[in-house]
Structure 1
Amino acid sequence: MSRKQNAIKVDERDNVCTVVTSTGLSPGGVLLNGVKVLEEIPYGHKVALSSIKKDEPIIRYGETIGYANATISEGGWINEDKMHVLEPVDIANYSIKSDEPDKEYRFRGKAVKKRYFMGYLNKDGTAGTRNILAINTTVQCTEGVVNKAVEKIKQEILPKYPNVDDVIAINHIYGCGIAIDGENADIPKRTIRNIAENPNFGEERLVVSLGCEKLIPQGAFNTSHLNENDYLITLQDYKGFYKMMDAICKKAEVLIKRLNKRKRVLCDLSHLVIGLQCGGSDALSGVTANPAIGYAADLLVQHKAKVMFSEVTEVRDAVHSLFKRIRNKELREKLIAEMLWYDNYLKKSKVDRSANTTPGNKKGGLSTIIEKSMGSVAKSGTSEIVDVLSPGERIKKSGLSFAATPASDFVCGSEQLASGMTLQVFSTGRGTPYNLRQAPVIKVASNNGLYNKWEDLLDVNAGTIAAGEKTIKEVGEEIFETIIEVASGKKEVKSEKHGLYNQLAIFNPAPVT
């Protein structure tokens, strides 16, 4: 990566650079190789390093991110209005032969000093980063009662049990008024079931049902080994609100007592399940924050942790680079199947993957979904991809997995929780107070301007990379160490301190009747 104080060229093949001066650039400014700026160009936006004729490729990250709508002069501003993209490559025709990944993507198998975190070890061999009682619901109708019960539990019961971090209602808008066995209904059902088994919930189970919903408790959750009297409360069995409340609180306290006996113990990093995500991205996300997260991801993989990256529409245009990191034919076939499923899902609404790019992304200098994709996959690092997960499917293998989720922050976060994620690392360039109650979220700023403005909301500043103050390696190591501290309960993420949490958003592409 070539770098000057006022602009960054990501790859030697690029014919554009990105402005990193916080005030932008004015006409007459000098860029790389003596290129003179022709017009006002905002921070984070692209400048042509040579003349680009109509329909010629615009290249960033060494990849074509779009084509010029008209000739763009050397030193001219390039934004979404000056370029267009072509239809995505038909990945159904991709080669899926079995062979070794490219050498540059091989797992870094050198010996590493074993590292540990203080986690809550579960009987099934998983480990939580938090010790939480989750009250699971089968249907949205129960939400009001469950929320009031949670308030009461936190006020009257939880203070007596200091080793329990929280009591959480797992609410969703599924469960009734649905085609329970309809096409794609397996996705929300699997998601709801697997969230209940997240390692941060200590293998305890409390379920609140209404009593007439389609998603019955016995089908919704893995409860075959439990007695219904121990885990299930059906609201229609009780005489009025107060009896319901008493029943929930009584059963919750039994479980909280058990959770309170748990203590943090030394766990090696192979017990970590880390989700990687980005939201409110800008043009520097793929240059600073995401590569630094990718460096941390490679370190985690070296320590045999389970790591997942997601967001199908932000991976679709980078599939060719992911194929180089997949070892076998069956896994490549599954990746293609997940991409094609999502292509068809979007076609039903007459949109494609370009609908992903937001007005804020464009204001931050991301002109096309291809450009956003190339920056997004940077957070996956360089390790071999060992598995591909369907939405809400539990992660199984140590190493790096691709979890096929929508790119929406809240939907992706919910699906990663279902896959077993116990801590998330989240990059942002525009800024978002996004946070999850079920697992801590470490937020990484892509630029100094955002971090300085939101220092009390963001945990790591990767803007120092663009400023030439730190390297990707240094910030990546900082993220890695922060993960260990937060997972061990030694450090709160800043959103936790403020009590900022978002609702879950279960992915439901199935019919609603």
Structure 2
Amino acid sequence: MQAEIEAPTRPRQNGAKAGDVPRTIRLSARDNVAIVVNAFGLPAGTVFPDGLELVEFVPQGHKVALADIPEGGEVRRYGEVVGIATQAIPRGAWVEESRVATPVAPALDALEMATRVPAPLPPLEGYTFEGYRNPDGSVGTKNILAISISVQCVAGTLDVAIRRIKKELLPRYPNVDDVVGLTHAYGCGVAINAPEAVVPIRTLQSLAQNPNFGGEVMVVGLGCEKLVSERLLPDNGAAGDGVVRLQDERHHGFSAMIDSILAMAEARLEVLNRRTRETCPASELVVGLQCGGSDAFSGVTANPALGFAADLLVRCGATVMFSEVTEVRDAIHLLTPRAKSPEVAEALIREMAWYDAYLAKGEADRRANPSPGNKKGGLNNIVEKALGSVAKSGTSAISGVLAPGERVREKGLIFAATPASDFVCGTLQLASGITLQVFSTGRGTPYGLAQAPVIKVATWTELAERWSDLIDLDAGRIATGEATIEEVGWELFHLILDVASGRKRPWSDQWGLFNDLTLFNPAPIT
């Protein structure tokens, strides 16, 4: 959806900054609110080109009423109802959080299913990247030795071993990018056979097989844990040994344990070192889309640009994942009609219903999602946040749905069900098979993943300038009219190909800013 910018679409040529001109952005002719673009907001008495006059100060990114909204009246943004006025809001007033109630979520039993399936967009041919092809046909964007653990008890030991591997072994294998531990807080003291334990176990199994790890799976276990180490190997370890158990009798002391880990790691480093980049079609990419520290600009600038780039990738035959159930739930009525089949629509509904029940068990609901930073950035509630979040999905048909931790096996646009937490979502997308992630942010975050490159996209230019050595792409130019959604989308698409090829390194990789993996475990802890 192209925004309507209430000011000239290009910066003035007299030397004044675009931000000096009073500006709002309205997203649909049906909207009765718009967001203020100008840095630091605008004071009472500000008059816009269309005659709108502010009756009070409105902060940057926050909504101003374009018409009188009565108490109980609908507040509309994105052409959708994003709130119910709890008091009369006059034209020109700040549509502040306390003045808006959260509307009821769409009923899951009354949704359209595969009724408006988008026609395939024209294919894009000839786009390639330099990737690492694996024996199973998948292609990685990095060449990493990943070492799993079966239980948290051994995490400290693995940390010691990895420090030695990086110091003593890795310099001898220059084609290997890194050695990372797939550590977690699971494995014992848990209800291992509870129905919902399938989520963390499946996640760990899938993580080890991410294409960036080259198929060289290795597990460090203790020996007495509930999660048996072999369960984390392909085919439950049927192909041969890939486990170091610290309790094995052959280990006489801590040094022997470390030596065993180093010996197994070196055998795998020798294999990985033979991997080299080769030219691969863009159809082999698996790209994850995520947002964090969202603000009112997220659904106007960065996320629509991500959506445009997602459409380009789908046109190339690639796989693109979007996620975050609570940031989809209130926009689900816009997605189920786009499912390629009733079965895909039903799978979307299944994941929404499962998460509704999960939240209800904790005596919570989706209204708990927006953070204080989201609200400070102009998002009143989860409805407004969700409508901006799903802009990342572009316009393609949704071709598949993954439960948490499932590996992707289809091309096209995929919904991978995850919580909205940045680090939990990132962990689950890695398990599902992403080899690169694009992350949009309005409030700013140093988030990153050691296991896959993360491209950071700012929703507004002030953030991109202030965090110039953390943000990889500025989408705020869309808000000021300096660039279009399509132009930034193409720029992002080419940046994805460059990062996937190793020609460019995102800032999180340059600084080594990496979040810990965080499992989603809805099962009981005993």
**Band of TM-score, shorter chain:** over 0.9
Aligned equivalent of 1:37, options 39, 54, 71: 54
CA positional deviation for 1:327 = 2.5
Q: Is residue 183–residue 511 contact of structure 1 (8 Å, CA) maintained in 2? A: no
Q: Is residue 106–residue 325 contact of structure 1 (8 Å, CA) maintained in 2? A: no
Equivalent residue number for residue 235 of structure 1: 246
Q: State the one-letter code of the partner of 1:138.
A: S
SS of equivalent residue, structure 1 residue 507? coil
Distance 1:389 1:40 in 2: 45
Residues 182-207 of structure 1, C-alpha deviations (whole Å, 9 max, x = no match): 13000001000000000000000111
Q: Spell out the pairing of 1:452-491 with structure 2 (5 A cutoff).
A: 452-491=465-504
Q: State the one-letter code of the partner of 1:31.
A: F
Q: State the one-letter code of the partner of 1:21.
A: N
Equivalent residue number for residue 13 of structure 1: 30
CA positional deviation for 1:90 = 2.1
Q: State the one-letter code of the partner of 1:500.
A: L
Give aligned-pair identity as a percent. 52
Q: State the one-letter code of the partner of 1:377.
A: V
Distance 1:426 1:175 in 2: 30
Distance 1:440 1:37 in 2: 44
Residues 206-265 of structure 1, C-alpha deviations (whole Å, 9 max, x = no match): 11010000000122332446555x411000112211101111011101110110011001
Unaligned runs of 5+ in 2: 8-22
Equivalent residue number for residue 101 of structure 1: 116
Quickly say closer, same or farther: Cα 1:70–1:100, change in 2 above 3 A.
Answer: closer
Q: Within the alignment, does 1:25 sit opposite 2:42 as a pair?
A: yes
Indicate the RMSD between aligned Cα atoms, in angstroms: 1.1
Aligned equivalent of 1:60, options 71, 77, 101: 77
Distance 2:243 2:237 in 1: 13
Equivalent residue number for residue 329 of structure 2: 316
Distance 1:227 1:417 in 2: 23
Aligned equivalent of 2:510, options 497, 501, 507: 497
CA positional deviation for 1:323 = 1.4
CA positional deviation for 1:150 = 0.3
Equivalent residue number for residue 209 of structure 1: 221
Q: Is residue 129–residue 487 contact of structure 1 (8 Å, CA) maintained in 2? A: yes
Equivalent residue number for residue 443 of structure 2: 430
CA positional deviation for 1:431 = 0.1
Equivalent residue number for residue 113 of structure 1: 125
Q: State the one-letter code of the partner of 1:45.
A: H
Equivalent residue number for residue 347 of structure 2: 334
Equivalent residue number for residue 282 of structure 1: 295
Distance 1:146 1:91 in 2: 45
Unaligned runs of 5+ in 1: none
Which moves more between the two structures, 347-356 or 27-36? 27-36
Q: Spell out the pairing of 1:59-458 with structure 2 (5 A cutoff).
A: 59-96=76-113, 99-102=114-117, 105-108=118-121, 110-224=122-236, 226=238, 228=240, 230-237=241-248, 238-458=251-471
CA positional deviation for 1:144 = 0.3
Distance 2:234 2:358 in 1: 29
Quickly say closer, same or farther: Cα 1:95–1:462, change in 2 above 3 A.
Answer: closer
Equivalent residue number for residue 2 of structure 1: 4
SS of equivalent residue, structure 1 residue 184? helix
Q: Is residue 299–residue 480 contact of structure 1 (8 Å, CA) maintained in 2? A: yes
Q: State the one-letter code of the partner of 1:175.
A: G
Residues 314-373 of structure 1, C-alpha deviations (whole Å, 9 max, x = no match): 000111110121122211111111100000100111111111101000000000111000
Large movers: runs of 4+ above 3 Å:
223-228
Q: State the one-letter code of the partner of 2:4.
A: S
Distance 1:4 1:93 in 2: 37
CA positional deviation for 1:23 = 2.0
How many residues are matched? 507
CA positional deviation for 1:10 = 1.0
Q: State the one-letter code of the partner of 1:86.
A: P
Distance 1:349 1:12 in 2: 39
CA positional deviation for 1:92 = 2.6
Distance 1:279 1:118 in 2: 29
Distance 1:219 1:301 in 2: 34
